[in-house]
Amino acid sequence: MEKNSGFATRQIHVGKVDIPGIAPLATPIFQTSTFEFDSTAQGARRFSGEENGYIYTRLGNPNIAKISEKLASLENAEAGMAMGSGMGAITTVMWTALHAGDHLLADDALYGCTFSYFTHGLTRYGVEVTLVNFEDLDAVKAAIRPNTKVFYFETPTNPNLKLIDIEAVAKLAHENCPDAKVIVDNTFATPYLQKPIELGADVVIHSATKYLNGHGDVIAGMAVGKADFITECSMFGLKDMTGAVLGPFEAYLIDRGLKTLDIRVQKHCDNAMKIARFLEGHPMVKRVIYPGLESHPRHELAKRQMKNGFGGIITFELNCDRERSAEFVNSLNLCTIAVSLGDAETLIEHPATMTHSTYTPEALEQAKIGESMLRLSVGLEDADDIIRDLDECLNRIEK
Ligand SMILES: *Cc1c(COP(=O)(O)O)cnc(C)c1O
């Protein structure tokens, strides 16, 4: 494969594992906890780093190495790593980047467990945490402290689909805090739509459970960034602090999912655009939030920052009370009531009582996460069928 190959070629070919004499097309699953040494001297050389080679799967495994190299290539980063869950990736990176006495500055709309880890977890270990709205650069600047070491955000945000200007935040952070890291959770966009490293971010995190795997059958997390920091995250954060190791079989499934990332995400985006327009035109729908709609407050930023499309997540509110809104969700047929996102199946959930139930009512209000918001993860079915399901159930509660 050429170095300057396109995205689709790289999502299929990067990280090929050569097995001389057998040459399988697909990488076999290296379902092993440990690797044999031919002598005590070789074992010592592997441990000292004098000789490259596998030792033990918590320290490295060919299936994990392959997807790590592949995602780094797709995100245009120097290096990557994989972990047992998205939360495993976030905790591994944060335990590596932060020390007691450091300050973490994060956006106020976060994945529910990330919110809980920052505000209830890290604070127990002497890390200062401030959440502000990262759309407001003056508020970010005003919240900077001499000990600010990490700027952390998602974009589009979960579940209210705010857009954060990655380039502007990275510039502000690096100008004011030269040794701080800008860390972006790119789960919602994927590198097919958005590459934070190219816009100045230092580290990109993924819940690979979502679009990267794409088939709703794996829990996994990944991170990419500069080689020296990723090595520290692997050899300290993952190896010693979290132990959040990804299984070789799960790594194999993610490798398989990544081969079709671009065509899957493109269809999620195309379907979502059609469904967002349909919802916007329905009298029972009070508000639709989707970065691809002209009505999105930061649609211009979306067009600049996201390529190829605006993602597969739509958030909307209905013109009715909570009870009838629940009736609507319960009556859906094709759309399945479930958390998670980025799967082939269309999924719908109620963030205030499900994914974001870790938030207090005050924190929900601060982050502008509405009590009545519904989050739709648009799947890969025919858009017309999803629209028919939504339409029938909206019409039923309208009566
Ligand atoms: C799901 C999710 C996570 C957590 O990932 P897990 O794989 O469930 O641990 C983190 N961030 C975002 C944006 C997510 O959607």
For the chain (399 residues), the mean pLDDT of every run of 10, in chain order, is 91 95 96 98 96 97 98 98 98 98 97 96 98 98 98 96 98 97 98 98 98 98 98 98 98 98 98 98 97 98 97 96 92 96 97 89 86 95 98 91
Give the per-residue pLDDT at 371: 85
Q: Could you tell me which of 189, 163, 153, 165 has the C-alpha nearest to residue 313?
A: 189
Please work out whether the CB of residue 237 comes within 6 Å of at least one atom of ligand 1.
no
Please work out whether the CB of residue 158 comes within 6 Å of at least one atom of ligand 1.
yes
Residue 77: exposure state from Cβ atoms within 10 A (0-12, 13-18, ≥19):
buried
Give the per-residue pLDDT at 370: 83
Is the separation of the CB atoms in 29 and 64 below 8 Å? no
Please work out whether the CB of residue 132 comes within 6 Å of at least one atom of ligand 1.
no
pLDDT tens for 341-362 read 999 999 999 998 898 888 898 9
Contacts (Cβ under 8 Å, ≥6 apart) of 13: 1, 5
Which ligand 1 atom is at minimum distance from the Cα of 89?
A: 9
pLDDT tens for 357-385 read 888 989 888 888 888 899 999 999 999 99
Give the per-residue pLDDT at 372: 87
Is the separation of the CB atoms in 109 and 134 below 8 Å? no
Which ligand 1 atom is at minimum distance from the Cα of 208?
A: 7
Give the per-residue pLDDT at 398: 83
CA of 154 to the centre of ligand 1 (A): 11
